[in-house]
Amino acid sequence: MRVLMVAPPGAGKGTQGAVIAAHFDIPHVATGDLLRDHVARQTPLGRAVREHLDRGDLVPDEIVLDMVRDALMSAKANGTGYVLDGMPRNITQARAVYQVAKALDMTANVALHLKADDDELIRRLLARAALEHRADDTEEVIRRRLALYHEVTHPIVRWYEERGILVSVDAMRPVERVGRQILTALEAMRPLVDLVPEHARRPVDLTGLGAAFGDG
């Protein structure tokens, strides 16, 4: 199973990505963790990342794509799928990740979209900021991050929908129930994803199935 995670801040992307990776015994490719790992190991990529961070610059897409390529190559060599978390964040990155994965014959089977209302996301992120003493994570900053998501990141959802690999899940419910619904859906899809060509697939919207998972 090869899964891309698409979600706004606070929707539980990292948590659910880890749940999927553990369930299917596949690597959880979290780009933030990859960056920190390369910096800590002082690899050539890590040294390049450190130079950008020391200057206060964003890490260029090319460097992150190189890290993703290495992770996907490793997954392929080990005969596993993957969960990609943290990239893509915009349509340019989405197309670039697709080309990298396509060259390796490792394109995603599913783009998992976690949907949640902004008010709920703000509540969660403010609670997390208080718990972790993040004084700079104010409501104004959080609203700006969410606005950026809607403007820049959310349009890629449409692209995955057109490709027929989008699976949308309601992330407003308790984390365990969200995880259970995701795993149930992915298990049902697992025997089919390699048999149905991409052009013949249709997006799946599970956001109205809460009652079937104990939420009625």
CA proximity to 3, closest of 97, 135, 118: 97
Alpha-carbon distance 29 to 72, whole Å? 9
CA proximity to 173, closest of 127, 212, 131: 212
pLDDT in tens, 135-173: 778 899 999 989 989 998 888 999 999 999 999 999 998
CA 49 to chain centre: 21
pLDDT in tens, 186-207: 998 888 877 777 767 778 888 8
Query: Which segment of 69-78, 148-157, 176-185 scores lowest on mean pLDDT?
Result: 148-157
pLDDT of residue 216: 40
CATH of 2-27+80-208, one of 3.50.50.100, 2.60.40.420, 3.40.50.300, 3.20.20.80: 3.40.50.300
Q: 3 and 112 in contact (C-beta within 8 Å)?
A: yes
127, with CB counted inside 10 A (0-12, 13-18, 19+), is: exposed
* Tokens 């801040």 -> residue: 9
Return the number of other C-beta atoms located less than 10 Å from residue 137's C-beta.
17
Residues 6+ apart with CB under 8 A from 131: none
Alpha-carbon distance 23 to 26, whole Å? 8
